[in-house]
Structures are given as structure tokens and as C-alpha cells.
Amino acid sequence: MTAPRMPGKITVRDVAMRDGVQNLKRILPTDLKVELIEGMADAGIQRIEATSFMNPKAVPNTADADEVMRRIRRKPGVRYEALVANLRGAKRAIEAGCDGVQQVISLTDVHNRANVNRSVKQSLEEMKQIAGVVRGAGILFCGAISLATGCPYTGRVPEESVYDLAGKYVDLGVDEIFLCDSMGMGDPARMGRMVGDIRRRWPETSLVVHIHNTRGMGLANAFASMQAGAATLDASLGGLGGCPFAPGASGNVSTEDLVHMLWLMEIETGVDLDALRVLAGKLAEALDTPLFSAVHQAGKSFEKSPVPARLLVGEDERTIQDVDGLAERV
């Protein structure tokens, strides 16, 4: 079977102000969240998961969800979305003016109970009500398959379990399926295979791939997903991310690292990488901690550094003596 062609354009969907902040011990100021969301939209990010409507006691960093949605300056053509876990959250998201609602269900009961205090069966039953309410509001309704590659409590998850839940989502009328490597346990072979299988089984349903970089395979998994035909990828400014109910589920793939890779590959994103780097700098300054972003730390490829003065003879000439001497010393 011939592999799908690599998409010529990728939509990068940023989740920093939801997934990125939910695991932080420090509460990020609402003013900064609004500034970063608006900055991402100005930089060309067309889909932003701006917040989640969860229990504020469980996820205190999104307790200001209603205020964030009320205060952000909406840019035409940008979709501002939110994560929910139950009917109450979905109603709040609609009232706040979200352009899309994503309900998340884990593949294992133990994690689903830890995450949303429900069994998988209970979440699916409530999804029927959520689907009706969201569709009635005329906005995007998405179903997220959490733990698509593995559970921190039960281990490897069978791929058929992923397809089974995806099928249930399609039967409930979701507009999009989110395939989530929530624990960063995925590998390129598995991610590519699952993306390809979902696209073949449900070609009329859109697909978003959500990738964590917990074990350093984020960009490799993104590449494999694109090779299999995925055209929308989640990422997080600065590489922030993680689940408070999943041990070791550290950062998402960095938005600026993903955009940088696509820029090098000459794949269109419509995103201003330099503007993203400025935003990542503001985030790093606010957190007073290093970000999980290679581009933030090292800069873009091919950026030229000043030539040290001792290596210059004239304006454009370099002396070889110092370099030879250094080689001898080494």
C-alpha cells in the first residue's frame, strides 16, 4: 500500500494555556495568559486551546477560564477552544464563547477516574448529552482519546482499544478525533500506524494528533504522524505540559520546535517563528525556570553568530593561526 503524501501545510494548534499550565505549581497570572493567547494569534496560530473548564480545586491554574475567555481580544480566523470533562464544563465553555469544545476520555478506567472522577462508561454516557448541547450551540465538538499509547498505571494500551473508542466517538457525531500520546510513550512506528488506520477507517472525520515529549520522541512522532497523513498537530509554547493525574507526564512537544522543524522542511504553517520565540521568552521570564524548548535555548538553525575578534584580520578575512594552534592544543 502506498503511504500518504506528506501534507504541504500543517495546522499547529497550541495548548500551552491549557495543557501547558495545568501541571504548574505556580499560578500563572490571567493578564499573562491573555497576553500570550493574543500574541499566539498575532503570530499566526489559528487554533488555540485557551483554557479548560474543569473543577478549579483539581486544576487551579485554569480556575480563571471564564475570565480568560471574556478578556481575550478575538482575532478573525482564529478558533479559541477549550477542554471539558463533563456536561457542566461544556455548558460553561459554550456560555464563555468558546469556538470548540473537546471532551477527554481516557482508555483505562483507573486513569479516567483519577482524571475526571468517572468510569469510561460513565464518561461515554455523558458524552451523548454533551454532544447534543455542543451541536445545538453550533460549535466544533471533538473527542479526545487520552492514553492512546499507554497508561501510567496499567501499561501498554492495545491499539484496538483506541479504534474502539474512536468508533464510539464517530457514532456520537464528533467533528474531530484527537489521538493523544498523553504519557509520551508513543514511538514513530506506532504513531504512524494509528494515524493511518484512523484516517482509513473514518476518512470523513478530522483528526488532530496530540504529542508529549516526555521521552524525547515528540518531533519524531510528529514526523511519523505527518507521513501517515495527519495535518493538524498539537504543541505547547515553551514545551510546557503534563497531567497532574499521570506520574511523569512531562511537557508537550514545543510549539516553536515543531514550527522550526516544519520551517526547515519547507512545510507551510503560516506561523511567525520569531514572534513565537519572543512569547516563549516572556513565558520563561514569568516562570523563572528553563523551558523545554530547544529553539528557545539554542535559537534557529543557521542564525549567524559574531566572529570572535581574535579570528579576524580585516573586515572579511580570518586568520588561520589561532585555529591551528587550538587544534594542536586539543
Active site residues: 243
Closest Cα to residue 43, out of 291, 280, 312?
A: 280
- Dist. CA 40–CA 36, nearest whole Å: 6
Angle at 167 between CA 212 and CA 178, to 5 degrees: 25
Q: How far apart are the first and last CA of the chain?
A: 52
Please, which residues bridge with residue 48 across strands?
Answer: 14, 80
Q: Within 10 A of 139 (CB to CB), how many other CB atoms are there? A: 17
Q: How far is CA 180 from CA 36, 144, 146, in A?
A: 24, 7, 5
**DSSP element (H, E) containing 242:** none
Q: Name the E strands within the chain.
A: 11-14, 47-53, 79-84, 100-106, 140-146, 176-181, 206-211, 232-235
**DSSP element (H, E) containing 311:** none
**How does 230-252 read in b/e, with b if 16+ C-beta sit within 10 Å?**
bbbbbbbbbbbbbbbbbeebbbb
